[in-house]
Structure 1
């Protein structure tokens, strides 16, 4: 009895507050304790192996156990384990990474601000947008628009941008000056007889109406993921970004591309902006920037914004924003090595080779009686389940079909993610092989059939 009470699982339940977890259920089920990992595989404390079909949290792009990243961190820790970028100080790794990012980023990026997570990068973008508009004499231009089902993080401001109810409920969010517009999910929100292009046109028109309703002199920025990740792997309808960008430019509304999930190869291009023809004023990145080996994120801003911010800091006397660990030298060193590996191993070519295989395998589920839509590109995808294929009716949320599928897949040796609307997300490490994709998809197929049989049995 004493051993069970002092086991790692029991101590976890007692002491650890878990993100995105039903804490009451956790007291009963306990955690999956992951002890080691290699490549696309992780192993729990009982020795069972799983394909990590979500690359952790969409982030471990080079898989687990990449020795070059481990050595980059160790080498930097020996030379300069910590220093900061405050008050005119810097270090060479930060300089090198900022220059590298500005050279490879979409748009005309002039400067980089380092942070530690995607949430912090997006939070910083909001602050910078407000600061910038004050700097250029537009103190009323402060409202920010994002999209329903979009995900931009969990700080107070970034969670306000996020368009998902569970990120707002009982947190007293969203805060003032942040609002939401249409979710660009054609399968769910396209009208009968409406083409994707017509749907995109309607959303662009709705965006313009919203800007006019709010007052163009008050709307400062629009945040968008190239592919909406945590909201369910929602791809933009055809011509969407081509139609909304002229609206933003017409009213001088900044476009912030949240590349936290899509950046660094996930879609088959280095950035999702390239995949979908986005020309941003700001770009946020994290996750695959360091293959998640150490926490680091970055906000890249256009040269015009950088210049205005610089002049305003001169007027005030300082730029009063920053984090203790902004540009942490070890994290930066790992990020630099990660970018080198992407180039040397031509990770983009690999994604373009294996991505179509994953997409083809996932689309085999389209005819399954539980599946409404299969969507994705490159090495990101989702299978959305429905109670009725003809009407697209979703399952009763009380049935928790998505979580049940996620747990059934785990029992079959595949770690995946349930997203809103009972869609199961796939986002494996970019190094995954075709045979490993087959193992991942086959494990999910077993889970899908098991849950379908259980639902039929319960309904009988």
Structure 2
């Protein structure tokens, strides 16, 4: 393989699939790679093309893309408008250094995003993706408090089952324990609060009481640590990789009010929920009634066509450390590809499609149907919970409720369900014991019906097989 020198044109035209797999086997280190299987035939199927909500693998199998890539292909695959915008910008100016120059696409996209953010979040900082967006927002919190002379106000309040990225800092504030083994993370300035998981709340506790319980925990934590030591609270409106956890009603407003009272920055991590996933450009204000200090975004900003991320920040926060109050400081955090013009052109084209095709209105119209159809799976014996918001849905597999949730058996059965769904033409995202869906915003009712039918068939067949094997009562 050392002498393999295929051109881009040859690869795009259809490089031999077995040779692609062999090249990956020999040279590619993928995310979440199994070291035990390194160098063996990859478990991951080889995808060859996409169109709309559909993907196609090397065997020619048509697959409904249930997770929209990684929560990101908002407008679907093979949209010529985005491809043409990328090509045109690349032939105009493909790169400009953000340290020394401005470029038109980044200025235009910043203005476009500022026009749809809540409240006074009118300044936008661009990064390369979700991890760098959250990392930059957290570093801004550190910078902000240093400029204000509050060097000790740096603790980050995060939540169990939250996910915020794969950089050193964002991995540390992610509350999913499965991301931590064999990595060294600096955890001293991070304090985790309970996950707002309605499914696993204490038995007999209703939604309102559960919300009170979570709020009391937050207030107690601030009292214990001291507000003068806490820099920010970071929260996804819906905990995505944690299993589509939708907090109890009123939770977001109450946590924001507490943060305001104690001068703690509120960072709303909308890397997943931003750009239409819940039927609005951002979910913070329109869905959950809050105007945070910072909103992070990525994924859907370009519909996954090229990498881009960033954060929007409020004028009120910036005013405290800008102008005469700046102490001649510089927010020197940045990236070679901050405001990359080709990526920003893709973002503008994606926003054009979302607006022109009325996709926000479409999501608000179709999301109740999506949630209702998923809810029909709740009658299956293996299904412990069905939950979601907008075009985010989760079916949690629970083999034996007496043993609690997310056992090793649940995870194994969920993986079987995932593989059977794939064979039947549906991609789902298995997160331990959870089948997660977040389809492209362009999905139709007929495609939702297909998704739910395949899920029902696959869960049912896995349950029958598991009982025959003596794994279930």
Same fold by TM-score greater than 0.5: yes
* Counterpart in the other structure of 1:458: 469
Tell me the distance in 2 between the aligned counterparts of 1:455 and 1:296: 43
SS in 2 for 1:301: strand
* Counterpart in the other structure of 1:337: 349
Tell me the distance in 1 between the aligned counterparts of 2:326 and 2:262: 28
8 Å CA contact 1:131, 1:309 repeated in 2:
no
* Counterpart in the other structure of 1:178: 190
Tell me the distance in 2 between the aligned counterparts of 1:112 and 1:59: 20
How far off is 1:131 after superposition? 0.3
Structure 2 gaps, min length 5: 1-15
Taking the TM superposition and a 5 Å limit, the aligned residue runs for 1:360-379 are: 360-379=372-391
* Counterpart in the other structure of 2:288: 276
Tell me the distance in 2 between the aligned counterparts of 1:48 and 1:154: 32
Tell me the distance in 1 between the aligned counterparts of 2:81 and 2:163: 31
Tell me the distance in 2 between the aligned counterparts of 1:398 and 1:434: 29
- 1:312/1:42 CA distance change after superposition, 3 Å: farther
Q: 1:117 aligns with which of 129, 148, 154?
A: 129
* Counterpart in the other structure of 2:334: 322
Q: 1:405 aligns with which of 397, 400, 417?
A: 417
SS in 1 for 2:287: helix
Larger mean Cα displacement after TM superposition, 7-16 or 213-222? 7-16
* Counterpart in the other structure of 1:432: 443
* Counterpart in the other structure of 2:68: 55
How far off is 1:306 after superposition? 2.5
Tell me the distance in 2 between the aligned counterparts of 1:283 and 1:5: 41
Tell me the distance in 2 between the aligned counterparts of 1:77 and 1:24: 41
* Counterpart in the other structure of 1:197: 208
* Counterpart in the other structure of 2:361: 349
8 Å CA contact 2:21, 2:41 repeated in 1:
no
Deviation sequence 1:315-361 (CA, Å, 0-9, x none): 45643211000010010011011112111211111112221221111
Tell me the distance in 1 between the aligned counterparts of 2:363 and 2:17: 46
Taking the TM superposition and a 5 Å limit, the aligned residue runs for 1:122-133 are: 122-133=134-145
Q: 2:44 aligns with which of 31, 43, 64?
A: 31
* Counterpart in the other structure of 1:67: 80
* Counterpart in the other structure of 2:13: none
8 Å CA contact 1:395, 1:401 repeated in 2:
no
* Counterpart in the other structure of 2:243: 232
Q: CA RMSD, aligned part only?
A: 2.0
* Counterpart in the other structure of 1:449: 460
- 1:399/1:264 CA distance change after superposition, 3 Å: closer
Tell me the distance in 1 between the aligned counterparts of 2:210 and 2:366: 31
8 Å CA contact 1:197, 1:240 repeated in 2:
no
How far off is 1:392 after superposition? 4.5
Deviation sequence 1:367-402 (CA, Å, 0-9, x none): 110011100122110001112246754433586222
- 1:175/1:198 CA distance change after superposition, 3 Å: same
- 1:179/1:35 CA distance change after superposition, 3 Å: same
Give the paired residue count.
Answer: 454
Structure 1 gaps, min length 5: none
Taking the TM superposition and a 5 Å limit, the aligned residue runs for 1:181-260 are: 181-188=193-200, 190-260=201-271
How far off is 1:118 after superposition? 0.4
- 1:6/1:67 CA distance change after superposition, 3 Å: closer
How far off is 1:25 after superposition? 4.3
Tell me the distance in 1 between the aligned counterparts of 2:157 and 2:368: 33
* Counterpart in the other structure of 1:396: 408
Larger mean Cα displacement after TM superposition, 173-182 or 224-233? 173-182
Tell me the distance in 2 between the aligned counterparts of 1:21 and 1:352: 37
Q: 1:299 aligned to 2:311?
A: yes
How far off is 1:79 after superposition? 0.8
Q: 2:170 aligns with which of 135, 152, 158?
A: 158
Taking the TM superposition and a 5 Å limit, the aligned residue runs for 1:133-148 are: 133-148=145-160
Tell me the distance in 2 between the aligned counterparts of 1:6 and 1:391: 44
Tell me the distance in 2 between the aligned counterparts of 1:317 and 1:358: 49
- 1:423/1:30 CA distance change after superposition, 3 Å: closer
Tell me the distance in 1 between the aligned counterparts of 2:267 and 2:450: 37
* Counterpart in the other structure of 1:265: 276
8 Å CA contact 1:97, 1:335 repeated in 2:
yes
Tell me the distance in 2 between the aligned counterparts of 1:250 and 1:304: 15
8 Å CA contact 2:158, 2:191 repeated in 1:
yes
Q: 1:13 aligns with which of 21, 25, 34?
A: 25
Tell me the distance in 2 between the aligned counterparts of 1:296 and 1:18: 20
8 Å CA contact 1:313, 1:319 repeated in 2:
no
Tell me the distance in 1 between the aligned counterparts of 2:237 and 2:316: 23
8 Å CA contact 2:243, 2:431 repeated in 1:
yes
Deviation sequence 1:283-338 (CA, Å, 0-9, x none): 00001101011111111111133334545996456432110000100100110111
